Amino acid sequence: MKKTLVIVIVILVLLLAIGITIAVIVDNANKQTEIDIPSNDSLENLFVEQPAVILPDPTVIVNSVQKMARVETYVATYQRIYTYAVDQEYLFGACGKKMVFVASGQAVAGIDFSQFQEGDIEVVDVDTVRIKMPQSQIFNVFLNENESQVVSIQYGIFAAIDNQLETAVRQYAQNDLVTIANNSDILTIAQLNGEDFIRDFLLKLAFSNVEFVTDPT
């Protein structure tokens, strides 16, 4: 009787152990088959089409700039007094000539945008554009005929009348104003004003940042 009871208890223990093992295996299997499935919102976000970024066409910009051609960006005004005297040392000036001439003139400088090429512009992004500017030039230097005049002219008693004297003095004044303009800072000012001019133009095309460079990359 005791022997039979022991056998029954052993069998029950074995069945209990087998049941626990099966439960653990089933539980682990359930855990392994669990998959984290993204929500519908997450899946939709993965396939949202981003808007295309369209950059302005550099060719269109270049063509627009070239049509501006020669843009005057600075005008310098000069006024000088020239005294022309010749043969004043002979006979106390009796053979001499003397003229005092007031010259009023202007030098006009600017940028020739017809020289602008496609290699001079780089559209970096929708906001930024890089520009290599043409160099400023002096377009013209001239005397203002209405404001330039002879204020005095003297001939010695033995001096012949010279009808070309005023013409010669005017030409000298004209050449001198060219030299003065070339030695001044007119080109620097014209270049800076030209950059301001083209910056305003490009800002109107919706760019917010205009960079000036020597050689755009």
| 47-75: pLDDT as tens digits | 556 566 566 788 888 999 999 999 999 99
User: Nearest 5°: CA angle at 24, between 19 and 26?
Assistant: 95
| Mean local confidence (pLDDT), 182-202 | 96
**Per-residue pLDDT tens over the stretch 90-127:** 666 676 788 899 999 999 999 999 999 989 999 998 89
pLDDT score for 43: 47
More confident site: 117 or 163: 117
Number of H helices, E strands in the chain: 5, 7
The string of DSSP codes covering 67-128 is: TT-EEEEEEEEEEEEEEEEESTTSGGGTT-EEEEEEEEEEEEEEEEGGG--GGGEEE-SSSE
| Mean local confidence (pLDDT), 158-175 | 84
Domain regions of the chain by residue span:
1-48, 58-212
pTM: 0.68
Assess whether pLDDT exceeds 60 at residue 38: no
